[in-house]
Chains A and B, each alone.
Chain A
């Protein structure tokens, strides 16, 4: 939430909302008397120094009446929203509460209700519930409910499919408790944000009902009623109608803007921050045949304050090549990928001697957004967090083409469907119209890959693209990536903790440990790996001849903590070959004639067990 306050709109909206709420609390306390003072000598006066917005038919001061009306107006709007949210929550969570089959009927009904304009629904309910405050609160609440139910349904179904919900159900936790404990807290943020936006709408709607005489009744008054009274004399005395009108608009805006600023802050990753001047060192003249190199990285370093989880990383990816990055959790694989895509978030700092993509320097080019948008595709581990749950799949893909390729709406959508077909989604037209949660994990990951293919990528970076998937789907997604690579000459960077996946798919492997590349070799040479860490990784997986009577050999100790790296080789505390040389200084990444790079003082030395 604190990100709301980083944008100017967010700050102004928050200030405005705070002012409205303060007024709602204090205005009646401070000025109720002045607003109620009847002065028959001052009936229907225009604007004056004494009465800034004039007086009404009983000579009461309109300006103060508007201020005092803030409380009732805001209160009623909030109550109506609360009613709507509560009903919406119940309806939206229905499939979870009463089972999938009955829930489907509720969902269908909600979908129909959403199609009606809210104000029409409100009028309809106002007639049913009768004239007056309670009737109006219920009417607007019921009118807000369907869209809220739809949102809740969308959010809840994404969370309800998580394994922790399954685990709770297996453990015998009841449905209501599952909802209250596991589901709602995890969808709370977007719900609160949308409720805020809805409160703005409810405020306007309430003013409408009161204006029509269906809402607040005399002697109580809210902005809608003041507006209605003022309107009688609009030609003589316009300010009497304008003042409450302005109040409604300002307060409505305060709620809506704040809600939307908050939504933006939650929904978007803040992007990009690179070390300024410090990186502008002279570029090493490396005359590689530029045409064959898609990506070249030299001395990449990523820091968070004093800690540098990625240090001195350098590699190149050739056209159509597939390179795997393996390493333990926390070794810096994902950060490396994010840095290439210029997605490192504050307070992270990226510095490098070179990050060149298709011959363009990504460190300096301000135009790289477009280049990256068109030519680089990223696929993340969890497609649910990278697809927006509230937008249809096709729309989200189309947006990419609208932004980066300048296609029209219809054209972009057609391309989206075409791309969904290219990633072998069945019934692409129908899928394009569905929401992310209506697709299976594998389908979502295909959709993400399809999104990457909206442009014509030269490189696909896939960060653990199959880890969150059922193994049954992993193989298919990997096959798809392979196929794209083969048919279009696209280069692939596959990040995985699973050395066997990399072995199947990649030509070359980069092994990372504690933020450095410790070995860079062809997949075919893995059997002849030279770094003790690589060899230990290979040995830690059981094979068909492993002795079942003994525990597996594991790499002793814990993964290195980037905040506390030893001065020498970071692997030394866990390495069976470590000696005083290793502890004293960090081995450089040395190349042998075959292009096989390894960073170890004692590469190739046998481990004596």
Chain B
């Protein structure tokens, strides 16, 4: 596993003259084998940072390093998206979607099915699901498939962007448990993004708080919760507490 580092990363949308900076000089390190939770309000730039990391959006400044080196063209990062309904191709079977993400040439034609089975079992899905289309799966099952697909690429780092917010509450817990279990077993390096502080705290070793394109506070999860420094973090905590019964 590897270490992911954002150095002075900025992202702008729109043209050079007219446009706005969504991510502004972000420094953040995801240490090898740990989970960094990124929490922040609507529009603070969390997803943009994630998309920039996997190369879906170009950087306008700074750099992203993997083990101290710039990211190669074929990204060794993988991502799980928010909406399990739009993240799987409706016309492709579950097995085909996962197989597509396997590193090209790494598996002989006849070994592919076995690898798909292994990945499905890793996310607690029976092997016979491989032949199904996404429409036949529930949201929680689709999200497991999306996780299996991400793991198929043997990622150096896994990015999870709001992976539970489109799921039933009753399934959220199962998916969170699964993510924690897989992360621990494979010693995954992971950037876990959510707007829900309680969820982030539950999953992460380190918590980073983002506001208006900046990381305003970052530290071990327990410290951030017991001793928040930035006013915005305190505000988030207060909101989370008041939501509790």
Q: A residues engaging B (CB < 8 A)?
A: 162-164, 166-173, 181-182, 185-186, 326, 328-330, 382, 467-468, 470-476, 497-500, 503, 526-527, 536-538, 540-546, 548, 551-555, 559
Contact = CB atoms under 8 A, between A and B. Distances in A.
A173 B44 CA distance: 30
B198 A543 contact: yes
A551 B44 contact: no
B169 A541 contact: yes
Contacts of A470: 47, 82, 162
Contacts of A169: 56
Interface of B: 41-44, 46-47, 54-56, 74-75, 77-79, 81-83, 85-92, 97, 100-101, 104, 138-140, 146, 149, 152-153, 162, 165-174, 176-177, 180-181, 195, 197-199, 201-202, 221, 225, 237, 240-241, 243-245
A555 B81 CA distance: 24
Contacts of B149: 167, 171
Given A181-B89, A542-B173, A559-B170, 10 more contacts: A166-B56, A166-B87, A170-B54, A171-B152, A182-B92, A329-B139, A467-B166, A541-B198, A544-B241, A552-B202
Nearest to A476: B42
A536 B83 CA distance: 24
A536 B173 CA distance: 11
Nearest to B80: A167
A544 B170 contact: no
B47 to A, nearest CB: 6
A498 B82 contact: no
Contact of A472 (B43, B77, B169): B43
Give the one of B88, B167, B171, B237 with max A CB within 10 A: B171
B173 A540 contact: yes
A542 B42 contact: no
Nearest to A542: B202
A471 to B, nearest CB: 5
Contacts, number: 154
Contact of A540 (B87, B166, B169, B245): B169
27 contacts: A162-B86, A163-B83, A166-B79, A166-B81, A167-B87, A168-B100, A170-B78, A170-B79, A182-B91, A186-B89, A186-B90, A329-B168, A382-B86, A468-B166, A471-B165, A472-B44, A473-B42, A473-B43, A475-B41, A497-B169, A499-B169, A536-B170, A537-B169, A540-B170, A546-B198, A552-B176, A555-B170
Given A163-B83, A548-B201, A497 B167 contact: yes
A277 B162 CA distance: 48
Nearest to B177: A551
B143 to A, nearest CB: 12
A552 B173 contact: yes
A554 B170 CA distance: 6
Most buried by B among A164, A172, A548: A164
A170 B50 CA distance: 12
B168 A328 contact: yes
A350 B161 CA distance: 39
A476 B42 CA distance: 8
A544 B139 contact: no
Contact of A471 (B75, B162, B168, B198): B162
Contacts of A168: 89, 100
B138 A329 contact: yes
Contact of B77 (A170, A475, A527): A170
Contacts of A472: 42-44, 46-47
A503 B165 CA distance: 15
A522 to B, nearest CB: 14
B116 to A, nearest CB: 14
Nearest to B150: A167
A173 B100 contact: yes
Nearest to B180: A551
A544 B198 contact: yes
B82 A471 contact: yes
Contact of A537 (B44, B83, B170, B177): B170
Contact of B85 (A186, A468, A543): A468
B86 A554 contact: no
B55 A170 contact: yes
